[in-house]
């Protein structure tokens, strides 16, 4: 097996599509792996760059890969999209991820710690509850309006101090 420089992984729930390139930029690996097979495969790798899109489960997998001594590069999906060639499928996505990770000016996302992920999850859940509450109040207001009852609008005025640094 030739030495792998970059391994692009298209993440899925139970199966992962992997494309690997060596130092001469030739594709040397093209596999579809189950979750357990992926971890077995990653344990056997010599230190290399592992790249995947920053999406659901990416930070957890990134922490797992870093604990194996691998270098992780998370790429925002909008930066991978320009590298997708022809019809979209999982292997083409993995190839695009591999290609994007080798670009010199590519921007990467750092792997979140477990604590940072928990805080993010709490904020997302809170935002969802606020959105649900607002939607419910709008529905109630619309139903009341059907019977001629109009709810007053509430305006919150902020007391902005002139000395707060605003110029």
For 13, 48, 74, 164, the CA distances from 33, given in Å and listed in that order, are: 11, 18, 19, 57
Which token pair is 88? 């979209």
Tell me: do 96 and 122 sit in the same domain.
no
Distance CA 128, CA 130 (A): 5
pLDDT value at position 114? 93
- The three-state secondary structure class of 116 is helix
Domain count, the chain: 2
Position 167 in a domain: no
Indicate which CATH number applies to the domain containing 76: 3.30.420.40
Tens-place pLDDT, residues 107-127: 999 999 999 999 999 999 999
Q: Is residue 90's pLDDT more than 90?
A: no
pLDDT value at position 112? 93
The parent domain of residue 42 ranges over: 6-101
Tell me: do 69 and 124 sit in the same domain.
no
Tell me: do 15 and 85 sit in the same domain.
yes
Q: Residue 35: what are its φ and ψ, rounded to 5°?
A: -60, -50
Contacts of 2 (CB under 8 A, 6+ apart): 22, 28
pLDDT classification of 164: cutoffs 50, 70, 90: low
Tell me: do 51 and 126 sit in the same domain.
no
Give the closest residue to 18 by CA, choosing from 117, 100, 93: 93
pLDDT classification of 154: cutoffs 50, 70, 90: confident
Asked if 21 contacts 49 with a C-beta cutoff of 8 angstroms, the reply is no
Tell me: do 36 and 97 sit in the same domain.
yes
Q: Is residue 87's pLDDT more than 70?
A: yes
Tell me: do 91 and 126 sit in the same domain.
no
Position 163 in a domain: no
pTM for the model stands at 0.76
The mean per-residue pLDDT over the stretch 143-149 comes to: 94
Asked if 50 contacts 73 with a C-beta cutoff of 8 angstroms, the reply is yes
Tens-place pLDDT, residues 52-75: 999 888 999 999 999 999 999 999
Tell me: do 93 and 29 sit in the same domain.
yes
pLDDT value at position 40? 93
Q: CB atoms < 10 A from the CB of 12, how many?
A: 15
Q: Which of 14-18, 70-74, 111-115, 156-160 has the lowest mean pLDDT?
A: 156-160
Position 1 in a domain: no
Tell me: do 96 and 118 sit in the same domain.
no
Which token pair is 10? 């298209």
Task: Tell the burial category of 83 from Cβ atoms under 10 Å away from its Cβ (0-12, 13-18, 19+).
Answer: buried
């Amino acid at each position: 097996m030739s030495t792998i420089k970059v391994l692009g992984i298209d993440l899925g729930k139970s199966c992962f599509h992997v494309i690997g390139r060596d130092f001469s930029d030739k594709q040397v690996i093209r596999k579809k792996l189950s979750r357990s097979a992926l971890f077995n495969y990653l344990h056997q790798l010599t230190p290399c760059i592992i790249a995947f899109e920053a999406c659901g489960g990416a930070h957890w997998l990134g922490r797992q890969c870093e604990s194996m001594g691998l270098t992780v590069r998370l790429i925002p999906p909008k930066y991978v999209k320009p590298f997708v060639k022809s019809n979209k499928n999982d292997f083409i996505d993995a190839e695009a991820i591999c290609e994007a990770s080798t670009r010199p000016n590519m921007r990467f996302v750092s792997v979140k710690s477990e604590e940072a992920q928990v805080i993010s999850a709490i904020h997302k859940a809170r935002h969802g509850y606020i959105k649900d509450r607002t939607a419910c109040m709008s529905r109630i207001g619309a139903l009341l309006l059907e019977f001629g009852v109009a709810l007053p609008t509430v305006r919150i005025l902020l007391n902005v101090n002139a000395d707060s640094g605003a110029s």
